[in-house]
Amino acid sequence: MTQTLLLEAEGVSKGFPGVKALDDVRFDLRHGEVLALVGENGAGKSTLMKLLAGIYTPDAGTFRLNGRELKVTGPRDAQEQGISIIHQEFNLMPDLTVAQNIFIGREPRASGFFLSDTALNRKAQALFDELGLALDPAEPVERLTVARQQMVEIAKALSFDAKVLIMDEPTAALNDAEVDVLFELIGRFRTPERGVVYISHRMPELERISDRITVLRDGRYVGTVETAATDQREVISMMVGRKIAGETRPRQLPADAQTVLEVEGLSTKHLLRDVSFQVRRGEIFGFAGLMGAGRTEVARAIVGADRRTAGTIRLHGAPVEIANPAAAARLGIGYLSEDRKLLGCLLERSVRENIALSSLSGDFSRAGFVRDRRIEQVGQEYIAKLRIKTPSSAQLVRNLSGGNQQKVVIARWLVKDCDILIFDEPTRGIDVGAKEEIYTLLRELADAGKAIVMISSELPEVLRLSDRIAVMAEGRLTAVLDNADATQENLMEYATRFSAEGTVA
């Protein structure tokens, strides 16, 4: 007996100028299933899903929903036919409230008037209660953390009566507890008449959440495997089709390594309390902690993005006052923020300009030709080093895949001549192969004498890369450990230092 499938795709192709994003791709989704869709940055995952969601039109191929051909004329039509998508890039309006964002464009039109905010809030609250989400309907979205914005996106998608729910890297900005909440939501969504397509670069998640895994590489279908019958190694080798760069290892710095950045007694109004640490030349200094522990706040307070209420920052021994991130950059402190939207890419400029321009600021007066050649040279160098997938260095950043945009931003800071680089979640949304390449580059930079501060929510990443590891909990520093003394277990212990009793241990 052949059972009908919930969703089928066959012979799907899509090209953009200079790029064949998808070439004769197929996949199928069974009823009640979570299908993981994986592949390197630029493999075509988001494009495939955007075809389903009516954002792009396929050049060729067919989709079938419950055995019947599915043609969508646009995003709204897709939604009405039961396809809901949570995008990789957030699509929320920052100055609207949570409730307004969820019901935007869906006020009952037949009745001819708009719902009042009170009514919207009530509807949103009912939805959150049903989903078990702790969100405030009346809160403006711009005041939410990235993780909570993600929750709003999810609530919004689930508020439609979807048959197929597409999630494009839903956990990129979530911590472990939030991932648990999300997986529970997915579990409740997954009934025999519905299904989920789940895109993620976090390999360990696939095992937990997916039934099968479909792999794309360079816009082509590679294969589909049962999750229970495979392992990470097999999936990764299907994804990359090449050997992944070598292992970087943490080091023990010489005792006399010169201190470059010294933070003493740093406090901010809301969160940080008396945070002190030193970062040395040649060192990768990792920050571990739960979301909300204050790691991002430390970075922001150092570069002047947030005001500090107490504390001293010394650069090479001399106290400095830093007004804002631009001033920090002039003093040689580069800061890559965790917020994807504020990454500071100029979307309408070329890849090479984004990579090279800010590092050439001193050369602006130079003759155009010399400068252009330099931009091209630096651009090409980093496109190769980070394997940025782009048809040319002149491609607009807007047209790159999410992970490749992220690589451009990283390249930009790597090129810039900073003594200190503060990277907040540098590998979020980056595929497994490219992660290794970024680790290698960070190590090379440290070896070349830079001081690197790296914040990461992925403990294995912190442990892999950091020479020393600072752990934060509830705005305080609870430990600074040499890599040799750190384990996942003791890092977690320091990360949850206060929460049990709510007092200082």
Q: How far is the CB of 376 from ligand ATP (least distance, A)?
A: 19
Q: Choosing among Mg ion, ligand ATP, none, which partner's interface includes residue 21 (Cβ < 5 to 8 Å by kind)? A: ligand ATP
Binding-site ranges for ligand ATP (CB under 6 A)? 16, 19, 21, 39, 41-47, 88, 389, 399-404, 431
Find how far residue 345's CA is from the centre of its chain: 15
Task: Please classify residue 99 by burial: count the beta carbons closer than 10 Å to its beta carbon, then call 0-12 exposed, 13-18 middle and 19+ buried.
Answer: buried
* CA Rg value for the chain: 24
Q: End-to-end CA distance of the chain: give it in Å, rounded.
A: 63
Q: Choosing among ligand ATP, Mg ion, none, which partner's interface includes residue 426 (Cβ < 5 to 8 Å by kind)? A: none
**Nearest residue to Mg ion on Cβ basis:** 46
CA atoms within 13 A on the CB side of 406: 24
Q: Choosing among ligand ATP, Mg ion, none, which partner's interface includes residue 39 (Cβ < 5 to 8 Å by kind)? A: ligand ATP
- Given the structure tokens 């990283």, which residue do they identify? 410
Phi then psi for residue 165, to 5 deg, are: -110, 125
Q: Which residues contact 182 (CB under 8 A, 6 or more apart)?
A: 154, 170, 171, 174
Q: Which is nearer to ligand ATP, 23 or 474 (CB)?
A: 23
Q: How far is the CB of 199 from ligand ATP (least distance, A)?
A: 7
Q: Which is nearer to ligand ATP, 131 or 400 (CB)?
A: 400
Q: Choosing among ligand ATP, Mg ion, none, which partner's interface includes residue 79 (Cβ < 5 to 8 Å by kind)? A: none
Total residues belonging to the chain: 505
CA atoms within 13 A on the CB side of 278: 12
For residues 469 and 5, what is the distance between their CA atoms, to the nearest angstrom?
Answer: 49
Tokens describing residue 379: 């651009």
| Residue 316, phi-psi category: left (phi > 0), alpha (psi -120 to 50), beta (remainder) | left
Q: Choosing among Mg ion, ligand ATP, none, which partner's interface includes residue 483 (Cβ < 5 to 8 Å by kind)? A: none
Q: By CB under 5 A, which span of 41-49, 52-60, 290-298, 318-326 interacts with Mg ion?
A: 41-49
**Nearest residue to ligand ATP on Cβ basis:** 403
Task: Please classify residue 183 by burial: count the beta carbons closer than 10 Å to its beta carbon, then call 0-12 exposed, 13-18 middle and 19+ buried.
Answer: middle
For residues 32 and 258, what is the distance between their CA atoms, to the nearest angstrom?
Answer: 58
Q: By CB under 5 A, which span of 86-94, 333-341, 417-425, 485-493 interacts with Mg ion?
A: 86-94
Q: How far is the CB of 261 from ligand ATP (least distance, A)?
A: 32
Q: Choosing among ligand ATP, Mg ion, none, which partner's interface includes residue 43 (Cβ < 5 to 8 Å by kind)? A: ligand ATP
For residues 360 and 404, what is the distance between their CA atoms, to the nearest angstrom?
Answer: 22
Q: How far is the CB of 89 from Mg ion (least distance, A)?
A: 9
Q: How far is the CB of 305 from ligand ATP (least distance, A)?
A: 26
List 27, 46, 335, 430, residue binding Mg ion (CB under 5 A): 46
Q: How far is the CB of 59 from ligand ATP (least distance, A)?
A: 13
Q: Choosing among Mg ion, ligand ATP, none, which partner's interface includes residue 404 (Cβ < 5 to 8 Å by kind)? A: ligand ATP
Q: Which is nearer to Mg ion, 88 or 390 (CB)?
A: 88
Q: Which is nearer to ligand ATP, 43 or 206 (CB)?
A: 43
Q: How far is the CB of 88 from ligand ATP (least distance, A)?
A: 6
Q: Which is nearer to Mg ion, 46 or 248 (CB)?
A: 46
Q: Which is nearer to Mg ion, 46 or 457 (CB)?
A: 46
List 54, 82, 195, 402, residue binding Mg ion (CB under 5 A): 402
Tokens describing residue 425: 């979640």
Neighbours of 490 (CB within 10 A): 14
Task: State the Cα angle at 264 between 428 and 444, rounded to 5°.
Answer: 40
Query: What residues make contact with Mg ion under the rule CB under 5 A?
Result: 46, 88, 401-402
